[in-house]
Amino acid sequence: MTVPVIVDCDPGHDDVFALWFAAGHPSLELLAVTTVGGNVPLEHTSRNARVALSVAGVVDVPVAAGARGPLARELSTAEWIHGENGLGGPELPDPDAGPTPVPLDPRSATELIADTLAEASEPVAIIATGPITNVAVLLRDRPDLAPRIREVVWMGGSTERGNATPYAEFNAWVDPEALDLVLQSGIRFTMVGLNVTHRALVTSRVRERLAAIGTRTAGFGDELLEFFCRTNDEVFGMPDGPLHDPVAVAVLADPDAVEIVRTRLDVELIGSETVGATSVDLDGMLAREPNAFVAVGLDVERFWADVEAAVARLA
């Protein structure tokens, strides 16, 4: 039994590994990819998603571009981590050329998701690894499609501190209104925040094991990780960079790798210093109805073995 998934992303080094994990893991069936402005503007994230699939030889998954920016704010980007084009490090091949081209689908992200949900024989999960704008737009404009969505698993937020501001994680901080809308929709929602993704560290052993796969995808990935670890060291003092986004994929690919709890999750929209902070009421202090699942633990060895196995199945 495989889980049908759509990945909505803003590549981004760690988004690329999330795409490869979803494309390569035998428990998942990757049906479509949509992109959002986030780490870098939409032109780059859309091209980068296609580069990631093209390098991996994944040519049968449509890629469509979605929102340029957040629902109600200006887009803030993260070139200082991901480079000017969003995938600093390797030379990027042209995704429209070469033996494994991945053209941009002419549909919008909403149209592609709607078609994918309509054509699927069962409800489809959405894994979102950027600002969650596209999912919010879909639920706002096509609420009729909600029953076709099995669940949403999102990398973002934190039960602890942030990485964009002291209390806000980047994806939550870029578009908190979108997160609020998705939470209010009542759709099954799992947050995979920094409290667990900071355990998914790209140690030298992880890099060696991935590089030893010896494929085109692994080689390209190693160049990405070289850059990503360097910028994480420079910006956060984390030379073993945390590879956030694939942890959200693990929730569906290998549920035993990620511990989740049901709890109350809200997002700050109007704080003077705390916009985008996720309020996770793990101790039930607020006595509000639980409305989400939140990741609280990661089996690190198992996670990396999953990522490795998935990458090894690609070109």
Please answer whether residues 155 and 189 qualify as being in contact, where contact means their C-beta atoms are separated by less than 8 angstroms: no
Query: Which regions of 220-263 does DSSP assign to beta strands (E)?
Result: 258-263
Q: Is 8 in the site for Ca ion (CB under 5 A)?
A: no
- Tell me the window of 3-11, 96-104, 119-127, 185-193 that interacts with Ca ion (CB under 5 A): 3-11
- Which does residue 170 touch among Ca ion, ligand BDR, none (CB within 5 to 8 A, set by kind)? ligand BDR
Q: Which is nearer to ligand BDR, 89 or 130 (CB)?
A: 130
- Tell me the window of 9-17, 85-93, 102-110, 201-209 that interacts with ligand BDR (CB under 6 A): 9-17
Pairing of strands 3-9, 124-128: parallel
Q: Distance (Å, rounded) from C-alpha 206 to C-alpha 302?
A: 12
- Indicate which single residue of 170, 220, 228, 304 sits in contact with ligand BDR (rule: CB under 6 A): 170
Q: Distance (Å, rounded) from C-alpha 132 to C-alpha 251?
A: 17
User: How far apart, in Å, do the first and last CA atoms of the chain sit?
Assistant: 24
3-state DSSP assignment of residue 104: strand
Q: Is 86 in the site for Ca ion (CB under 5 A)?
A: no
Q: Is 105 in the site for ligand BDR (CB under 6 A)?
A: no
Q: Distance (Å, rounded) from C-alpha 276 to C-alpha 145?
A: 27
| CA triple 159-173-300, angle to 5 deg | 40
> Measured from the CB of residue 192, what is the shortest distance to ligand BDR in angstroms?
10
Catalytic residues: 244
Size of the site for Ca ion (CB under 5 A): 6
Q: Is 185 in the site for ligand BDR (CB under 6 A)?
A: no
Q: Is 12 in the site for Ca ion (CB under 5 A)?
A: yes
Closest CA to 260 of 289, 299, 287: 299
Q: Distance (Å, rounded) from C-alpha 41 to C-alpha 86?
A: 9
- Tell me the window of 22-30, 97-105, 109-117, 168-176 that interacts with ligand BDR (CB under 6 A): 168-176
- Indicate which single residue of 15, 169, 254, 306 sits in contact with Ca ion (rule: CB under 5 A): 15
Residues in touch with Ca ion (CB under 5 A): 10, 12, 15, 129-130, 245
